[in-house]
Copies of this chain bind each other. A is one copy, B any other.
Amino acid sequence: MTDATTDPQLLYVQDRLSDEEIQREADLYGPLTQSVRGLIAATLQTEVGDADVRRARALIEEAASLLQGQAIPGPYGVRWGASGWMRDWGNAAAGLRNAVAPPLEMQYDQNGRTWVDFHLGPQYEGPAGLTHGGVSALVLDQVLGDAARASGHPGMTGTLTLRYRRPTPLGDLHAEARLDRVEGVKTIVTGHIADAGGVCVEAEGIFILPRWAREAAAEHARVTAG
């Protein structure tokens, strides 16, 4: 592969996989990624002695080496199958194959609300025992961006404003967002994160589809129609 793999426009790929093939990949890679999430927590929490740490590290290196035997050289990108099933499996907040992601499995209701119930383990800590303010921002950027897309106005984040009303605990949390209004190329979305006690963080995002993405979409429509 070449430098082309770092060109964002070339990482939006229609690979035309069937739904069955995509499901097979999800069943294979989902549990692998979930195991890595458990390992991340164990790495943070362990108090075993030096010998066990070194043995664990050797096992981890062996696993990574096996997986690297055949691998893409850069980011995962965004892929679409034959039926339109989108895979943003490398996404840092939502990616099925990304162990950094909690992951967020978004829901959409019929009233235009995008929401997700999720769990944050010890690897999302900022202030002692609490969710990192930047992790709340990561969750809200994803939920608000998905709400913009669900409303028919996809875009990249232009401005994101976060108001931290009270500390966000780790553990079971809820986030949601909905379209507020559209102003030309700007889509304004609002949302929040809440725990059982109510709202912890409020957010407003302005999402804008960049010109190159609008042009690429138009070009893609032209080519596939031709």
Contact = CB atoms under 8 A, between A and B. Distances in A.
A39 B42 contact: no
Interface in A7-60: 7-12, 28-29, 31-33, 35-36, 38-40, 42-48, 50, 52-53, 55-57, 59-60
Contact of A163 (B53, B63, B159): B159
A167 interface: yes
A68 B93 contact: no
A198 interface: no
Interface stretch (A74-82, A107-115, A186-194): A74-82
Given A43-B32, A53-B28, A156-B133, A100 B124 contact: yes
B132 A91 contact: yes
A139 to B, nearest CB: 7
Contact of A157 (B38, B40, B76, B164): B164
Contacts of A29: 43, 53
A194 B73 CA distance: 24
Q: Identify which of A43, A67, A70, A157 gathers the most chain B CB atoms within 10 Å of its CB.
A: A67
B42 A77 contact: no
Q: Give the one of A70, A129, A163 with max B CB within 10 A.
A: A129
Contacts of A42: 63-64, 67-68, 71
A6 B170 contact: yes
Contact of A95 (B44, B50, B90, B140): B44
B71 A63 contact: no
A210 interface: yes
